[in-house]
Chains A and B, each alone.
Chain A
Amino acid sequence: MTVLTVKTPHKMQSFGIFLREPPQNETTVTGDHRNTSPAMKKTIKKTIITDETSLENPDLGPFLLKMARDSIACGSENLDKALDYAIRASKSFERVSGSGVDLATCLHVVAAIYSSLGRLDEAIEELERSILMLDVENGSGVGMVKFCGYMQLGDTYSMTGMLDRSIFCYESGLKIQIDVLGKSDPRVAETCRYLAEAHVQAMQFDEAEHFCKKTLEIHREHCSPASLAEAADRRLMALICEAKGDYEPALEHLVLASMSMIANGQDNEIAAIDVSIGDIYLSLCRFDEAVFSYQKALTVFKSTKGENHSSVALVYIRLADLYYKTGKLRESTSYCENALRIYSKPVPGTTAGEIASGLTEISAIYEALNEPEEALKLLQKAVKLLEGIPGQYRTVAGIEAQMGVMFYMVGRHVDAWKSFDSSVTKLRAGGERKSAFFGFVLNQMGLACVQLYKIEEAATHFEEAREILERECGTYHLDTLGVYSNLAATYDALGRVEDAIRILEYILKMREEKLGTANPDVDDEKKRLFELLKEAGRVRNRKGKSLENLIDSNSLKMKKEGRRRWGAFSFRT
């Protein structure tokens, strides 16, 4: 590994150094923003007029709300003022009309301002209050407001990284909307698409596909063919298909979307779709077509957005990936460098999130090019960019997990463990419990623990990973079996031989009965089981027996023995 790092081109390091300094724009933006707000707060206190009686004026609420909205429209300097207005307005509404649509709407505004100020907990509180106070039976207007509240609450939850809850909120909102508007309203389609996107983010592709199909159906009903709405749906559908590995349908959707974009003359959108089409071709190993698509998009982006725009960098990254896959490593590196150059001097308007995701993709290529150190540097950079930005917890957790795997591959197990720990903590805090992704991360963390001789901890991680994967992927899935095998080895090392034997027997049974024994892992697993059985059964069965005999004849006896052994071992735990 060290040899490889020495091999790293000198140029690259200078880029690394370049990138180590965060782009000037971004930091000053946040710094400035933070600095102004306390000063604002001080002055705001003066303006708060705490004359409670005046709040009973029925005209005051609407007016204050309007003032709040005007302040919001002014930009983020005035958010504190807007918050002041909005809170006063909500008080006024509460006094005048009690809980109702007015107050609920006002609370939405308050929550919106809170969340733009980064005070998400308070925003959630206000939104929950607004939702709870409304009774849908009172009429469609109430339903709308409640729906808005749910959607906003969902957004706020997704900002805190709690995707499960946010999806639940969106679903509640959708239910209300369907109740009020009927099943095939175009507005329902919008919500469905939104929900589908949320599911994609949570890596729940089946649900995403379901909602996306619903959206497409509704749009087919209401819109003309080749409408922009349909194009947007199809692009999402393509994304889902691609993530699921169904490349042909994805390509079909993209081509259709591209056609409707051409009909509407949206050049930038066509280019963006071209990039996606290139991705699919790349996945299908149709490299020439992929290059053509990418180059087409690149030309458009360069002419419309400028040479140094982040979308140009994105195409560079894709080209680098393509050239890596076709074995042209020099081209690949040079495209990576070009992309890095763009990201190191971002044009105004580029967001930290864009740069971070670009860097993450470049790091994937460097990792593939066998330069894990460089890849790690880029990932660290990306994490630093995203630090402190709300709504990016999951992204950061994902990047940290990638870093963990890379550390593990390089052999820096302590760093790997730290990265995994931080990633898992973040994911847990975000309510992540049941995605296969989380299971993978846990499994990998268990492996890192084994490398650090934290066998007990490793076992708990493997157990959790097994539980998640059994639920998400099923018990026959190869990934699940991989976790089983790890767990068996860990139990073995912990002295729980009988458990290990039982798990290995299960794996082999699965392989023999369902998956076939052609997998190269099967031999290894057989060997391990044989060894274990030999050890456990050595005292009783001295005669050499074939593996099958061992499995058949000993399983019962061993279970008995195992139970007793369990009693013996139980005091330890």
Chain B
Amino acid sequence: MGKKGNWFSTVKKALSPDSKKSSKSKKKWFGKQKLQTSDPCLETDTTPPLPPAEDIKLTDIENQNSHHHVAEITTAIDAEEPVPSVQTTVVRTEAAAVARFAGKPKDEVAAIKIQTAFRGYLARRALRALRGLVRLKTLMEGPIVKRQAVSTLRSMQTLARVQSQIRSRRVRMLEENQALQKQLLQKHARELETMRIGEEWDDSLQSREQIEAKLLSKYEATMRRERALAYAFTHQQNGKNTSRSMNPMFTDPTNPAWGWSWLERWMAARPWESRGLVDKELNDHSSVKSSSRSITGGEISKSFARFQLNSEIHSPAASQNPGSPSFQSNSAPSKPGSAAVARKLKKASPKGSWVMDDDSKSMASVQSDRFRRHSIAGSTIRDDESLASSPSVPSYMVPTQSAKARSRTQSQSPLAKENGKQEKGSFGTAKKRLSFPASPAKPRRHSGPPKVEITVNAEFTVDNGVTS
């Protein structure tokens, strides 16, 4: 009996916190257990822990509830297949129970026994789980888990550090490779340009007429021009190096496996950061970079090549002028050679890219085309603007007068020839000056369009300013 009392108190202990905690811990069998034992559970809770009274009550309930309830419980027990330990309890308690249930029908006694056994089983299981939960909690509070948390944090910090170091390695490598790539591209474009001029290819007259004619025919003209350019392009390619296929164009000639891949990597890896880094690289490629924002990059390098070529060709003409010993520092307003240079410039500049430019800017009006056609004023303004963002001035500064002045003075410095970047700076002014003589033919025409052009340029420079 003593054992039995102890047993019931454990049941109570197990069940009472159980009803509170089960909702919290959300464990399945708690709910199930509550369902199955709901009636007897209430009984055990409400009745005093005196075994005889409880037994009587229980038997009353059994009588009222008919056999259905018993059947239910037995099926439940069948389903659960109680473990041997439970069965042994039943056997053990039997001795005491038999004495108590002397006057009762056999099936009732059996039902009670089964029920008690089952309840005991459930209670013990719940208790065990609860104890497990408590143990889990103590483990969680313990030093082992704390240590785990710390080591996890450390390992993740290491990971972050290692990854950031690798990333910075990559960035550094990309910077180097990009600089290399730029040089190669430039060199390549220069070579190309010399080829082109040597060939004296000229289809510009015809296409110019077509553009002037009508807006409708413009696309057609573009296509034709494109085709023609493509033809010329392949011809140059073939003329220059027949053995090489198209692709080396996109790869670094010295290292065909890696060149394009690196450029791509640069692009792929940092599309969002490229602007930020551009400023870092301004050291030697800056003028190319900054001016290429307003003109296509190919063109700037081409025109750079052209400039070099022209300066070679026309430096004798320039030196005729006593006031200007060198081409760069030539301050004379006009000279005999300059018109020819300007003409040459116009001829050589690939119209295709210009027109595409126009289209994309949705400024494709006849007027602006005409404007562009008649002078390179637009491009000179652009160059002027981009000059402001040349190395002497940080490109994020909106060009100011002083900046312009500074760049101008810089371009006139005698050191210009030696220093690569200053040479490039002077290139813009030189070009501007050269283009001047070409425009006087129609001075009125400028007044309208250049304004538009300037606003576009302003946009570009503002863009530069914000982004860098």
Asked if B466 contacts A155 (CB within 8 A), the reply is no
Least Cβ–Cβ distance between B181 and chain A, in angstroms = 9
CA distance A440 to B32 in the complex (A): 35
- Asked if A399 lies at the interface with its beta carbon under 8 angstroms from chain B, I say yes
8 A Cβ contacts from A360-381 to B: 360-361, 364, 367
- Asked if A65 lies at the interface with its beta carbon under 8 angstroms from chain B, I say yes
Question: Which residue in chain A gives the minimum CB-CB distance to B256?
Answer: A144
| Nearest 7 CB-CB pairings of A with B | A63-B230, A73-B297, A70-B298, A357-B164, A492-B132, A59-B230, A116-B271
CA distance A539 to B86 in the complex (A): 9
Of the residues A29, A406, A495, A524, contact of B275 by C-beta under 8 Å: A29
Asked if A62 contacts B233 (CB within 8 A), the reply is yes
Residues of A participating in the B interface, judged by any CB pair closer than 8 Å: 25, 28-30, 32-33, 36, 40, 42-44, 46-47, 49, 51, 54, 57-67, 69-78, 81, 101-102, 105, 108-109, 112-113, 115-118, 123, 141, 144-145, 147-148, 151-152, 155-156, 159, 177, 181, 187, 190, 197, 200-201, 203, 232, 235-236, 239, 243, 348-354, 357, 360-361, 364, 367, 389-391, 394-395, 398-399, 401-402, 405-406, 408-409, 436-437, 440-441, 443-444, 447, 450-451, 453-456, 479, 482, 485-486, 489-495, 497, 500, 520-521, 524, 528, 531, 535, 539-540, 561, 564-565, 567-568, 571-572
In the complex with contacts A67-B356, A486-B139, A348-B245 CB distance below 8 A: no
In the complex with contacts A47-B359, A67-B353, A155-B276 CB distance below 8 A: no
Least Cβ–Cβ distance between B253 and chain A, in angstroms = 13
CA distance A117 to B274 in the complex (A): 12
In the complex with contacts A70-B353, A77-B463, A152-B268, A200-B166 CB distance below 8 A: yes
Asked if B149 contacts A73 (CB within 8 A), the reply is no
A123 neighbours in B (Cβ, 8 Å)? 268
B12-20, B99-107, B219-227, B405-413: which lies at the A interface? B219-227
CA distance A361 to B299 in the complex (A): 45
- Asked if B444 lies at the interface with its beta carbon under 8 angstroms from chain A, I say no
Question: Which residue in chain A gives the minimum CB-CB distance to B297?
Answer: A73
Asked if A47 contacts B271 (CB within 8 A), the reply is no
CA distance A145 to B259 in the complex (A): 12
- Asked if B239 lies at the interface with its beta carbon under 8 angstroms from chain A, I say no
- B126-149 CB mask vs A (1 if < 8 Å, else 0) is 001101110110011011110011
Interface of B is mostly: helix
B255 neighbours in A (Cβ, 8 Å)? 187
B125 neighbours in A (Cβ, 8 Å)? 495
Tally B residues with Cβ within 8 Å of A: 116
B167 neighbours in A (Cβ, 8 Å)? 353, 357
Interface of A is mostly: helix
B151-159, B200-208, B372-380, B421-429: which lies at the A interface? B151-159
Asked if A493 contacts B237 (CB within 8 A), the reply is no
CA distance A561 to B257 in the complex (A): 67
Asked if B155 contacts A437 (CB within 8 A), the reply is yes
In the complex with contacts A200-B162, A437-B159, A447-B148, A489-B136 CB distance below 8 A: yes
- Asked if B260 lies at the interface with its beta carbon under 8 angstroms from chain A, I say yes
8 A Cβ contacts from B158-188 to A: 158-171, 173, 185
B74-82, B109-117, B307-315, B435-443: which lies at the A interface? B74-82
Asked if B223 contacts A148 (CB within 8 A), the reply is no
Residues of B participating in the A interface, judged by any CB pair closer than 8 Å: 24-29, 32, 79-85, 88-89, 125, 128-129, 131-133, 135-136, 139-140, 142-145, 148-149, 151-153, 155-171, 173, 185, 219, 222-223, 226-227, 229-231, 233-234, 237, 245-247, 249-251, 255-258, 260-261, 263-265, 267-280, 289, 292-293, 295-299, 352-353, 356, 359-362, 364, 394, 396, 463, 466-468
Asked if B359 contacts A43 (CB within 8 A), the reply is yes
Asked if A108 contacts B260 (CB within 8 A), the reply is yes
Least Cβ–Cβ distance between B431 and chain A, in angstroms = 19
Most A-side CB within 10 Å, residue of B89, B227, B247 = B247
In the complex with contacts A187-B255, A364-B157, A492-B132, A29-B467 CB distance below 8 A: yes
Asked if A485 contacts B249 (CB within 8 A), the reply is no
In the complex with contacts A43-B360, A101-B247, A155-B264, A485-B139 CB distance below 8 A: yes
CA distance A156 to B264 in the complex (A): 10
A436 neighbours in B (Cβ, 8 Å)? 155
Asked if B264 contacts A492 (CB within 8 A), the reply is no
Asked if A447 contacts B145 (CB within 8 A), the reply is yes
Asked if B292 contacts A453 (CB within 8 A), the reply is no
Asked if A239 contacts B261 (CB within 8 A), the reply is no
Question: Which residue in chain A gives the minimum CB-CB distance to B360?
Answer: A43
Asked if B276 contacts A66 (CB within 8 A), the reply is no
Asked if A59 contacts B268 (CB within 8 A), the reply is no
A395 neighbours in B (Cβ, 8 Å)? 160, 163-164
Asked if B151 contacts A479 (CB within 8 A), the reply is yes
Asked if A46 contacts B362 (CB within 8 A), the reply is yes
In the complex with contacts A54-B227, A399-B160, A59-B234 CB distance below 8 A: yes
Least Cβ–Cβ distance between A35 and chain B, in angstroms = 10
Least Cβ–Cβ distance between B52 and chain A, in angstroms = 26
A367 neighbours in B (Cβ, 8 Å)? 153
